[in-house]
Structure 1
Amino acid sequence: MIDTKKMFLFIFILTAPIELLAQGGSSEYKDGMTLKFDSAGKKYIRILTWGNFWARYTNANPGTSIGGFEKKNWTDFSLRQFRLLTYSQLSPRYLILADIGIDNQSFSSGGSAGGGNSGNGGDNFSGTLGKKPMIYLHELWNEYTILPDKDYKTGSQKNFSLYIGTGLHYWMGISRMSTASSANYLAVDVPIYNWPLVDASDQFGRQLGIYLKGNLDRMSYRWAVNKPFSVRNPSADFPNGSSEYQYAVDNNADGNLSTTGYFSWQFLEKENNMLPYTTGTYVGTKKVFNIGAGYYFQHNGTTTQQSGIAGAPLINHNIRLFSADIFADIPFGPKSKNWAVTSYTAYYNYNFGPKYLRNGSIINENVSRAANYTGEVSQAGFGNLAPLIGTGNIFFSQAGILLPKRTQAPGEMRVQVFGEFSLQKFERFNNAPLTYYSAGCNLFLDGHHAKVSFKYQTRPIIITDRQNGSKGSYIISTQVYL
């Protein structure tokens, strides 16, 4: 059971400075960190950077051990994300973008690999603990203008535009949230299954390839042909008699190309698609209503075994993924109050092959089964693991309300409350329903450029292929984005 008094004390200590921070406010962001090479600002280099810090209290899955000690819950601090992104145009006909950063550094995960006794493992440990996270390349791509959105001379809008890019890119399907920007989430983070290939055959949602993007009247489109990263995880390692030979696993050793795309119709204001990152909430600054759909396909992307005999031949399966979604961000009421409602709903249909399933989580520490634990354990594993991605269907919805302004003073703190609901039905669990929900609020000190967020989120515990209760996490997030 959660000690309620301690939990409220934990929240109070971390949120006490918020009101003081909000009093100061700040100037408008405008062009940010941009180095211009001409008076018109058409030749430039722009730098974006943001950092996201988490303080978290987590109820552990049954039987969890961290560092050899059984834990029913734990508290941790972490660097959820850091990004340093730059893009530039010295001509409107071409663009280059590069993005580096780190993810998920905590006291016991996210660091560099290695042994030793100083916090990066022990004599018999070859994984990663918390120190010295590896900065890595998130994306690097070049883009060429074929048909621009606007006429170079007159500046008038055109009905059709086309851009072609190459590199490690984020112009992917399958949904709006599959290319979400981590700088402007509505609800602290995303559900992760919006990236169906995450760190399997992609690099944190990115793949190497060639993309097309642009607008056709009110339709925004993106389409790509990519070379997925190699994944060799054959099921031939299963022992004789194992029932798991029939479960599809990642194994794209054939090296087939993939195609992916996402198309959305924009009924109200058009969104800027110069960069691939979609916005989670506009905080009352834009009126948007979009309906979209997307897909991903790869031939022979997963495998099963022909029989339950070790070394049996493999059977290949295509990866077919589809989604449809609706996004709305609508200011309402008196302009002086600037109420706004944000809503996003998505349906995902995933087919990775028979009974494919991936368990996962955000920032799970180096966990294992407690030595003396004899009770039931979640089929997803220990720590905060839960079923995330698999052959089956997923329904996801989130909504937020931006509360009205109290004054018209510059730099006034804005408050936004939100909630989420997720329903998953995976073939592995015979389509038994799995659910989670979350609720929380954002405190915008200067829009997304300076905000503090709080969220409580549940996850399902799986026993005998059914959800048997839930566990939850309390998260406080701070972000500065320049």
Structure 2
Amino acid sequence: MKKLILLLFLSSFLISHSVFSQGSPDYTGGLKVKLNESGSKYFRIISWAQFWARYTDDVPDDDSNIDFSIRRARILMYSQINKDFLILTHFGLNSLNANNLDPVGKGDSSQLFFHGVWGQYSLGANHAIGGGLHYWNGISRLNNQSTLNIMTLDNNRQSWAHIGLSDQFARHIGIYVKGAFGKLQYRVSVNESITNNLQEGTDPVVNGSAVYAGRRLLGSKDAGKNFAGYFDYNFLDQESNFLPYKVGSYLGGKKVFNVGAGFFYHPDGSVIANTNGTLEGEDVAIFAVDAFYDAPLGSNGSAITAYATYQNNNYGHNYTLGQTYETGSMVYGHAGYVIPNANKKIKFQPYTSFNLRSIDAIDDNATIFGVGANAYFSGHNSKLTLEYLNTKYGDNDAQSFVTLQAMIYL
């Protein structure tokens, strides 16, 4: 096992090290093309890719313990024709592996799709309104996480609390308003809820658990819209909210301490069948509070990143789906430390994470424990992440994973 981890780490190091010069820690990202001499009219293109090699300890006898996948391959472009208007498009694919590749590249998992398409109009210097397929989400910082600069290997899955249930891959079609009142930033939205979601083939049974199928079974009049918001107060350095994507770790580049709270509310989003077989809607309501701290420690290049959240999930009576979504509550946190290395190009950041969830449907808990490290060759633009993850769901046996990720961001 130790030899396997070392081999994977060295092989990905060589691949990533050969292209690290394409980015730098102070790189503003992407290709910016000026459309006028002053640069007030422009478009910018950003591209990134994440490659995974994963070892799973408990697999069927005829399955390999090691698999490779493209976790993400994305392209994002945004443009301003003047200071008041912005348009953004974001497309790509996710989790492409040997089981979902298509022989001629036409399968569902092989196809690029839009992760976001929205337009925005400024309402003065600090506020804006927009609409489209957008990522101005509610609930928590992690439900608005950028995939470019996550500190852990990947985002805490349960924090993306409505992926595939009310949205298309964490994006809703709707309208949003975002901005800041001094140090208080806000984002609120009214959105359409998806009809054909992850439970499109599931109907509620008499006296059974809720099914997330309100719009499909009850109609769009009563169950078609959802509402979301997130508010965070910036006690120290002010974070940018030009785009919706929250930074995972600044590596000591800023001194940030934010406290936030948010919600997601979908009236009649779930459905139950009562003793007479009559369908009844149940409101989906999720809210969270969180805190984020990121700061340098002295002048030697060390830094700390810490995050904690409490999230309450109500998807309806005894709701559970795929050991991912459950009616119950969650406590999650992670912390990382950039090791002092001021005179060298590579920075190392060990970290740990913990997730504890209560699950009404099984009257039990689920836990996820992770420990890992990032090797930054050029900030988030070129990095390797090695992580061990242990998961346990109720009285099921624990499952362990070791994953190595190589990431390039241009």
Q: TM-score, normalised to structure 1's length?
A: 0.78
**What are the within-5 Å matches in structure 2 for residues 387-402 of structure 1?**
387-402=323-338
User: Given residue 356 of structure 2, which amino acid in structure 1 is its aligned partner?
Assistant: L
CA–CA distance in structure 1, aligned partners of residues 346 and 163 of structure 2: 35
Q: Structure 1 residue aligned with 2:279, among 300, 314, 331?
A: 314
**Alignment correspondent of 2:210:** 248
Matched-pair contact (CA < 8 Å) for 1:234–1:251? no
**Alignment correspondent of 1:332:** 297
User: Given residue 14 of structure 1, which amino acid in structure 2 is its aligned partner?
Assistant: S
User: Given residue 46 of structure 1, which amino acid in structure 2 is its aligned partner?
Assistant: R
**What are the within-5 Å matches in structure 2 for residues 285-296 of structure 1?**
285-296=253-264
User: Given residue 38 of structure 2, which amino acid in structure 1 is its aligned partner?
Assistant: A
* 1:236 Cα deviation after fit: 4.4
The yes-or-no answer on 1:165 pairing with 2:130 is yes
SS at match of 1:250: coil
Q: What per-residue deviation string (whole Å, max 9, x for no partner) do you get for residues 169-198 of structure 1? A: 000101001010001000010121111110
* 1:24 Cα deviation after fit: 6.5
* 1:5 Cα deviation after fit: 5.0
**Alignment correspondent of 2:380:** 448
User: Given residue 186 of structure 2, which amino acid in structure 1 is its aligned partner?
Assistant: Y
* 1:258 Cα deviation after fit: 1.0
- The 1:429–1:329 alpha-carbon spacing in structure 2 relative to 1, beyond 3 Å, is same
Matched-pair contact (CA < 8 Å) for 1:417–1:441? yes
**Alignment correspondent of 1:413:** 346
**Alignment correspondent of 2:389:** 457
**Alignment correspondent of 1:344:** 307
Q: Structure 2 residue aligned with 1:41, among 27, 39, 42?
A: 39
The yes-or-no answer on 1:403 pairing with 2:339 is yes
Moved more, 318-327 or 20-29: 20-29
Matched-pair contact (CA < 8 Å) for 1:358–1:390? yes
Q: Structure 2 residue aligned with 1:7, among 1, 4, 7?
A: 4
CA–CA distance in structure 2, aligned partners of residues 76 and 119 of structure 1: 21
**What are the within-5 Å matches in structure 2 for residues 151-190 of structure 1?**
161-190=126-155
- The 1:43–1:6 alpha-carbon spacing in structure 2 relative to 1, beyond 3 Å, is same
CA–CA distance in structure 2, aligned partners of residues 185 and 23 of structure 1: 18
CA–CA distance in structure 1, aligned partners of residues 77 and 17 of structure 2: 32
* 1:332 Cα deviation after fit: 1.1
Matched-pair contact (CA < 8 Å) for 2:251–2:295? no
Q: What per-residue deviation string (whole Å, max 9, x for no partner) do you get for residues 201-247 of structure 1? A: 20111001010000001100000001111146476475xxxxx8420
Identity of paired residues, percent? 31
Q: What per-residue deviation string (whole Å, max 9, x for no partner) do you get for residues 132-158 of structure 1? A: 71100111000001121xxxxxxxxxx
SS at match of 2:286: strand
**What are the within-5 Å matches in structure 2 for residues 79-158 of structure 1?**
79-109=70-100, 111=101, 133-148=110-125
Q: What per-residue deviation string (whole Å, max 9, x for no partner) do you get for residues 341-388 of structure 1? A: 0001011101111010121xxxxxxxxxxxxxxxxxxxxxxxxxxx22
**What are the within-5 Å matches in structure 2 for residues 357-436 of structure 1?**
357-359=320-322, 387-407=323-343, 412-430=345-363, 432-436=364-368
**Alignment correspondent of 1:192:** 157
SS at match of 2:143: helix
CA–CA distance in structure 1, aligned partners of residues 29 and 264 of structure 2: 35
- The 1:98–1:23 alpha-carbon spacing in structure 2 relative to 1, beyond 3 Å, is closer
- The 1:315–1:295 alpha-carbon spacing in structure 2 relative to 1, beyond 3 Å, is same
CA–CA distance in structure 1, aligned partners of residues 70 and 20 of structure 2: 26
Matched-pair contact (CA < 8 Å) for 1:198–1:205? yes
Matched-pair contact (CA < 8 Å) for 2:139–2:229? yes
**Alignment correspondent of 1:377:** none
CA–CA distance in structure 1, aligned partners of residues 230 and 20 of structure 2: 42
CA–CA distance in structure 1, aligned partners of residues 14 and 111 of structure 2: 32
Matched-pair contact (CA < 8 Å) for 1:235–1:304? no
CA–CA distance in structure 2, aligned partners of residues 471 and 449 of structure 1: 31
SS at match of 2:157: coil
SS at match of 2:398: strand
CA–CA distance in structure 2, aligned partners of residues 272 and 317 of structure 1: 37
User: Given residue 173 of structure 2, which amino acid in structure 1 is its aligned partner?
Assistant: L
User: Given residue 278 of structure 2, which amino acid in structure 1 is its aligned partner?
Assistant: P
- The 1:406–1:23 alpha-carbon spacing in structure 2 relative to 1, beyond 3 Å, is farther
CA–CA distance in structure 1, aligned partners of residues 5 and 119 of structure 2: 49
**Alignment correspondent of 1:54:** 52
CA–CA distance in structure 2, aligned partners of residues 138 and 19 of structure 1: 26
CA–CA distance in structure 1, aligned partners of residues 252 and 50 of structure 2: 22
* 1:468 Cα deviation after fit: 4.1
Greater CA radius of gyration, 1 or 2? 1
**Alignment correspondent of 2:408:** 480
Matched-pair contact (CA < 8 Å) for 2:12–2:406? no
CA–CA distance in structure 2, aligned partners of residues 344 and 80 of structure 1: 24
SS at match of 1:279: coil
* 1:21 Cα deviation after fit: 4.8
**Alignment correspondent of 1:376:** none
Matched-pair contact (CA < 8 Å) for 1:100–1:139? yes
Gaps of 5+ in 2: none
- The 1:15–1:48 alpha-carbon spacing in structure 2 relative to 1, beyond 3 Å, is closer
CA–CA distance in structure 2, aligned partners of residues 191 and 23 of structure 1: 27
List structure 1 runs of 4+ shifted beyond 6 angstroms.
22-25
- The 1:120–1:145 alpha-carbon spacing in structure 2 relative to 1, beyond 3 Å, is closer
- The 1:332–1:22 alpha-carbon spacing in structure 2 relative to 1, beyond 3 Å, is farther
Matched-pair contact (CA < 8 Å) for 2:211–2:271? yes
* 1:13 Cα deviation after fit: 4.5
RMSD: 2.4
- The 1:282–1:249 alpha-carbon spacing in structure 2 relative to 1, beyond 3 Å, is same
* 1:40 Cα deviation after fit: 3.0
Q: What per-residue deviation string (whole Å, max 9, x for no partner) do you get for residues 380-427 of structure 1? A: xxxxxxx221110000000000111241x6xx0111111000100010
SS at match of 1:96: strand
Matched-pair contact (CA < 8 Å) for 1:321–1:350? yes
The yes-or-no answer on 1:283 pairing with 2:251 is yes
Matched-pair contact (CA < 8 Å) for 2:20–2:382? no
SS at match of 1:11: helix
